[in-house]
Amino acid sequence: MVPAIPYLLDRYEHFNALIFKGKLPSVPIVLSRARTFLGKCEYKGRINAQGQEEFFDFIIRISVAYDMSEDQLDDVLIHEMIHCCIAVNQLRDTSPHGKIFRQLMATINERFGRHITISNNQPVAKAPVQRKRWHVVAVVQMTNGKTGIKVLPRITNRITDYYNGVMSSPLAKSVKFYMSNDPFFNRYPNSGALKIYHVDPDDLAAHLHGSHDVLCDPDGNNVRVSPTVNK
């Protein structure tokens, strides 16, 4: 939906009462065509007579460059309201989306069933629902201690060719194959190319929950999928 300002001001008042106990000031909201952010909260700062930093002239900018659903728009607005809340109360956060921001965000998400994230300055992915597709994921342990992956087509000889090709390289120590439908793997090119993409091993382990081992004979000729689900 393309939001209109009266609508956004209305939502602001609604969430101010519902979430922030009506303690946020009235803030002008302006629409922006920017593609570099979804929402933005700007304000000025000064040192008052008591020597304390205080913030004023708040303004919230909402991008209309992306087609957001009502729910996404609400989440973006509340994200900016959290920034506003932190500044108004002169809380000192560790960074723009630091400890305090994340704590408030987590509490609001839980109490109000929201899905606010810290990434209002990043454009939303066009496809909000990620399709579940099954991939064959090769996990390569490298001789330099790093971990790499390659997403392969679900074709037996592509898997065995990859195995044989990678194992003939001095960089590869071992290759294991998994069948996974975790959307994490959607972003990697799916081909038989002898490439290896570095990944964080902890990250990878989390995304291999629910996968199945793909078992490959030592001679690399026979491939079958284990019925056991990896925990």
120 or 211, CB closer to Zn ion? 120
120 or 147, CB closer to Zn ion? 120
Specify the stretch interacting with Zn ion by CB under 5 A; choose among 114-122, 131-139, 174-182, 193-201: 114-122
Structure tokens at 188: 């990697």
Least Å distance between CB 13 and Zn ion?
A: 21
The span from the CA of 79 to the CA of 92, in Å, is 17
**160 contributes a contact to Zn ion by CB under 5 A:** no
**120 contributes a contact to Zn ion by CB under 5 A:** yes
* CB-based contact 63:38 (threshold 8 Å): yes
Least Å distance between CB 187 and Zn ion?
A: 24
122 or 191, CB closer to Zn ion? 122
- 3-state DSSP call for residue 134? coil
Which residue matches tokens 């959607």? 186
Specify the stretch interacting with Zn ion by CB under 5 A; choose among 1-9, 14-22, 117-125, 180-188: 117-125
* CB-based contact 179:225 (threshold 8 Å): yes
Helix intervals (H) in the chain: 5-18, 70-88, 99-112, 156-167, 201-207
98 or 192, CB closer to Zn ion? 98
Structure tokens at 181: 């439908």
The residues that touch Zn ion, with contacts defined as CB under 5 A, are 120
